[in-house]
Structure 1
Amino acid sequence: MASLPQFNPLRLRSYIFRLPLCTRVLIAAIVALWVATIPFSWLKEWGSLEPDKVNFGTMHRLNLFPLLHLNFFHMIFNVLALTPLLERFEHEFGTLVTLALFTGPFGTLPGGIYTLLEKFVLRSNTVVMGASIWVFLLLSAEAMKTHKTNPNFSIGPYKIPTWTTPLILVLLTSFLVPNVSLIGHLCGAGIGYLWASGYIKFLVPHEKILRWIEGKLNLLGRLPHYVSVDQKTYGRYGVLPTTMGTIPRSPEPGQRLGP
């Protein structure tokens, strides 16, 4: 009789200790803010994304809302879903790129689109918060990469495009989980598709600038678990070849997106 896989706390401990720097910082910020909202419940109202309250004086909402959560279960499920996706992203693109994107445009872009849709299209004011918008953003980016090597998967006689997987998950989540934002998740997924397709790669600083910053501040030497733009866990330009040959280069200067 085949035995069921057993939980190994040593493996979990080893996995946590191997997490790259920015992933640690963002996950720690999510947990810390959840703890802070217990005595300071006003933090949720202050940092949540409420479309009617978004203006030039409250732009912090667009950056903070993915870090805030309604309750413990909301927080822990998002942390469990986000951590492996965020870790993979940071190992592929580096700590500086991850920090720049997830403290900037990966919050402001989907949050801004959601705010505009709620205000001017849906004429609503639904408040949202939570890192699930990042989860679907990263799932969409991964689905686009997988689509290039495996365009379809089969369910019975039907062939379904691989890139649609996150959209199916968005719909299932909206039906099965109460009080989730279908529009918010779609906004996150949309930015993920744009990122993986290369349309918003201009948001990342040029690689020469990143190398200069890393060298000037000696970040690789000073910061434990820091991932340099030149480190290749998954590969800055894809997985390195195992046979002798020329290392594949990006087709144009800057960040390469996709496998």
Structure 2
Amino acid sequence: MPSLPAFNPTRIRSYIFRLPLTTRLLLAAIVGLWAAAIPLPWVRDVAALSPDKFDFTQMHRLNLFPLTHLNFLHMLFNMLAIAPLLERFEAEFGTIVTLSLFTGPFGLLPGGLYLLLEKFVLRGNTTVMGASVWVFLLLSSEAIKTQKTNPNFQVGPYKIPTWTTPLILLLLTSILVPGVSLVGHLCGAAVGFLWGLGYIKFLVPHEKILRWIENKLNLLGRLPHYVSVDQKTYGRYGVLPSAVPLGGLGGAPRSPELGQRLGP
């Protein structure tokens, strides 16, 4: 009888230590808000996205509701789901882009869309919170990317379009997990599809501006686990020093940059 793989805390610790900077900050903010809500329950009420409590003085709710959770299990499951997706996104687009999107448009857009649908279309007043809106946003973005190389997947005699995968997971989650917001998850998925299709890429500042900020502030040198926006030049964690002296390369062709480049 095959044995189950043994729990290895060393691997978990190693994975946590490899997480890039913005992923760490957002996960820490999720844990911090959950911990703060234990002695101060009003923290959860202030951060949750409630249609009847929302006005222009409550804009902070659009940024805080994905970081706020009902209880420990709600937080734990969302963190387990969001961590690998967020890490992959940051590895592709860089720390500064990820930070600007997830503290801005990726909260404002799904949250604003939810308020419009809930208040003016459904005429409801359901309060939502939790990072699952980001989970379906990132899943939808990944589905669009996968669609280009693998348009369909086979289930028995049926061919199902790859881009529908997040919607299938969304429906299953709504059926199997009590108390989840189908509309909230759909709003997150809609923004993810728009991002994957390139319709809202204008929300990211131009790469030249981001590169100038990185160089001016020396973010690669100052911040550990920082991921450069310029993947082609710097790789994931910047330029690493070469172990071979430049004079010892002999007649071999040399790169014009000092160091060894990672990435494509």
Q: Same fold by TM-score, threshold 0.5 exceeded? A: yes
Q: Contact 1:92 / 1:232 at 8 angstroms: preserved in 2?
A: no
Structure 1 counterpart of 2:158, one-letter code: Y
- Matches for 1:27-176 after TM superposition, within 5 Å: 27-176=27-176
Deviation of the 1:88 alpha carbon? 0.2
Aligned residue in 2 for 1:254 = none
The CA distance in 2 between the partners of 1:182 and 1:174, in whole Å, is 6
Aligned residue in 1 for 2:8 = 8
Deviation of the 1:112 alpha carbon? 0.1
Identity of aligned residues (%): 77
Query: Which consecutive segments of 4 or more residues in structure 1 shift more than 6 A?
Result: none
The CA distance in 2 between the partners of 1:11 and 1:124, in whole Å, is 45
Deviation of the 1:232 alpha carbon? 5.5
Deviation of the 1:117 alpha carbon? 0.4
Deviation of the 1:4 alpha carbon? 2.6
SS in 1 for 2:160: strand
1:203 and 2:203 are equivalent in the alignment? yes
Q: How many residues align?
A: 235
- CA-based RMSD of the aligned residues comes to 1.3
Q: Contact 1:91 / 1:232 at 8 angstroms: preserved in 2?
A: no
Unaligned runs of 5+ in 2: 237-264
Write out per-residue CA displacement over residues 143-167 of structure 1, whole angstroms, 9 at most, x where no aligned residue: 1111111111111101100110000
Q: Quick one: higher RCO (CA 8 Å, sep 6+), 1 or 2?
A: 1
Write out per-residue CA displacement over residues 196-241 of structure 1, whole angstroms, 9 at most, x where no aligned residue: 10000000000000001000100000000000112369x79xxxxx
The CA distance in 2 between the partners of 1:141 and 1:47, in whole Å, is 26
Structure 2 counterpart of 1:228, one-letter code: S
SS in 2 for 1:57: helix
The CA distance in 2 between the partners of 1:230 and 1:13, in whole Å, is 28
- TM-score, length of structure 2 as denominator length: 0.87
1:23 and 2:23 are equivalent in the alignment? yes
The CA distance in 1 between the partners of 2:131 and 2:115, in whole Å, is 16
Structure 2 counterpart of 1:136, one-letter code: F
SS in 2 for 1:145: helix
Aligned residue in 2 for 1:190 = 190
Deviation of the 1:53 alpha carbon? 1.5
Aligned residue in 1 for 2:260 = none
The CA distance in 1 between the partners of 2:125 and 2:71, in whole Å, is 21
Deviation of the 1:6 alpha carbon? 2.1
